[in-house]
Amino acid sequence: MTKMIIIRHGESLGNAKLVFLGHTDWDLTETGYKQAEKTANFLDDMKIDVIYSSDLIRAYNTVLPIAERRNMEIIKSENLREINAGEWEGMKFIEIEEKYPENHSIWMNDIGNAVCNGGETVKELQIRIKKELDRIAKENPGKTVCIGTHATPIRTMLCEWKGLPITETKNFGWVQNASVTIVNYNDDGTYTLELEAESAHLKDVPSVKLEHI
């Protein structure tokens, strides 16, 4: 069994400015950096053998305090990135709603069937993330792995971890910035969800409340 501690990045400049980032590489806000420290505090007593992160700076800088406290390196992976948002990259949410009303409506109301114009479908994202998590787990048998990633990957994987079809993604809300989810990758290739979107340690540093991502 491989234990995977999966962390959503802290509040980003995109979150604060209501901009859809996708692969756009913007950093954390001051609040996001505080959340990263709070999450590192939360995990201080937990054994961690290896740390991976999306190569986007908002995810990397969220797990950086965890790595620094342990004098560990962070292995970057572009396969852990947020959804490729195509033409939506760097657009304000209100602009996406105005320019792409049909696909925006699907994103808001039936996200499992959504696609960013010119980018990935949510299903394609889920396949990408699962393939990468499977790879990481198989390369680290018996270890505890910390992973920094993004909101949509976690939201879609909650369906996978709970044995539900991708169409059920609409029934899971966005996990909070810098929240902690723990899953176990079992020897038979299945996952067992141990902790879902733990965020009590962040009560003093809340994020902007988001409906989009």
Q: Which residues are catalytic?
A: 9, 150
Give the number of other CB atoms < 10 A from CB of residue 177: 29
Longest Cα pair distance anywhere in the chain, in angstroms? 49
What whole-number distance in Å separates Cα of residue 60 and Cα of residue 50? 14
CA distances from 19 to 1, 10, 50 (A): 38, 15, 32
Strands (E), the chain: 2-8, 19-20, 50-54, 74-77, 91-92, 144-149, 180-185, 191-198
Distance of CA 94 to the CA centre of its chain: 22
